[in-house]
Copies of this chain bind each other. A is one copy, B any other.
Amino acid sequence: MDIEELAGKLAAGDRRALARAITLVESRRPDHRETATALLQRLAQQGRQALRLGLSGTPGVGKSTFIESFGMMLTGQGLRVAVLAVDPSSARSGGSILGDKTRMERLSRDPGAFIRPSPSQSQLGGVARRTREAVALCEAAGFDVVLIETVGVGQSETMVAQLSDLFLLLLAPAGGDELQGVKRGIMEMADLILVNKADGDLKPAAMRTCADYAGALRLLRRRPQDPEGFPKAMCVSALEEAGLEAAWNEMRALADWRREAGVFAAVRAQQARFWFAEEVRQGLLAALETGAAKLRMEALAGQVAEGRMTPALAAREMLALLGAEAGQGALPPSG
């Protein structure tokens, strides 16, 4: 694949080129990785930026309906919207790709929208790293908003927060006055809590839930860089398409505020550092699985299994071979 040609098509907003480029960054083949790295470096020079919105919500809160209604509202304003997913648990198949598109049928047919399911790696870190590169590709292709959705499982929210400019938490109305099992730490990450299903019979419950969360958010320490009133809880109805513009206005206001305060760029820089370190860590570990290192690992593991060496002693030998003894860097002194 020719990088110049692909970059050109991407810059022109060609959706098939975008899909091909994402497939390229998701590939594990070393030559593909090399091409992907070169492509990303080339595109980074363009400096196009989208607003990156992270969205978390457990199954049942109406996430697909929300993304569809919210996305249609944005494309109705002439904005181009990409939807990506971070879902390490999804057993990816032709069926589930279809699934992602059928559960957002209208949006998937919208020429202003692009929907891409989660990459198929089983490790959360791998999924998130490749999604980060897909975000960069969507930006290069001129998308204005990139929505990165995740289901509220394990550490995936933390990863998505590291990919996002703003982090949205979608909730359903709660039955009573309890805060519905939102995991500790997730509420702290949210810039905007959206209580969905504020329609029909559920409207009163939604408003109560929203008030509960608004109260809880006031107890959290406001981020020093943010204006009064954030993080904020709001009611929306994805079904009746109500409250979506108001929510969008809040998102834009918060993003603008952060841009002016210089926080927006600073957070992106910190995130880039994070993903660099993550990529190095994972690359280093992957090197244990190939070539001479793999053979040596297997030989030492055999000695450990037979009880001839303790795990600690065998690890010490392996690390010495790798030039990574305790207290030394992994680089040779001349490095």
A residues bordering B, Cβ < 8 Å?
30, 33-34, 36-37, 40-41, 44, 132-133, 136, 269-270, 272-273, 275-281, 283-288, 290-297, 300-301, 304-307, 309-316, 318-319, 321-333, 335
Contact = CB atoms under 8 A, between A and B. Distances in A.
B326 A286 contact: yes
Contacts of A294: 329
A34 B320 CA distance: 13
10 contacts: A30-B326, A270-B305, A276-B318, A277-B288, A279-B314, A280-B319, A281-B285, A284-B285, A287-B328, A290-B329
Q: Ordered nearest first, which 6 A-B pairs have the shortest CB separation? A: A291-B329, A279-B315, A293-B329, A287-B324, A287-B330, A276-B311
Count of this chain's copies in the oligomeric assembly: 2
A277 B301 contact: yes
A287 B20 CA distance: 37
Contacts of A40: 310, 312-313
Contact of A326 (B33, B136, B292, B316): B33
B37 A306 contact: no
A269 B330 contact: no
Given A285-B284, A301-B273, A304-B272, A279 B312 contact: yes
